[in-house]
Every structure is written in C-alpha cells, then in structure tokens.
Amino acid sequence: MADTTLDAKGLNCPLPILRAKKALKEMASGQVLAIEATDPGSAKDFESFCTQTGNELIKASEAGGVFYYEIRKP
C-alpha cells in the first residue's frame, strides 16, 4: 500500500521524474510512492531513476495506456 500517490498522467518527459523526485523528498525513509503516468518513455526512465538514486522500484505495470509504479524510498 502506497503512502503517497502522484498523478503524472498527461505529463511528458522529464516532468514525471521531476514530480516524483519532489514527492520523494517530502517522504520518510521506507515509505512508498505510487505513480500513475501515461508517458510510455516513463517505463525505462523510472527504472534508470531508481538505479541511479538508490530508490527501489518495487512495482511497474501497465494497463490500458496507464503506467503504474511503486517506488520505496531508501
């Protein structure tokens, strides 16, 4: 279950990443951020974002053109 949810639908690169970063900044260690996005590029971008920042991508899925991610703050 996510602690915070970010609606990034309709936003294009790099806005989903920038908004996610901002949301994570407000969150405590161990909390989970859920993100909904429609930018197809976000799939690879959130993977790369997590690899480089030490955040954990615990879920990534897609349904009907909406991408859903869960990221845990280290």
Site for another protein contains 29 (CB under 8 A): no
Within 44-73, the residues that bind another protein by CB under 8 A are: 49, 52-53
Which of 2, 11 has the CB closer to another protein?
A: 11
Q: Quick check: 15 binds another protein (CB under 8 A)?
A: yes
H-helix or E-strand spanning residue 49:
helix 42-53
Cα–Cα dist 20/35, whole Å: 8
Query: What minimum distance in Å lies between the beta carbon of 52 and another protein?
Result: 5
13 included as an active-site residue? yes
- Dihedral of CA atoms 14, 65, 74, 22 in degrees, nearest 10, equals 40
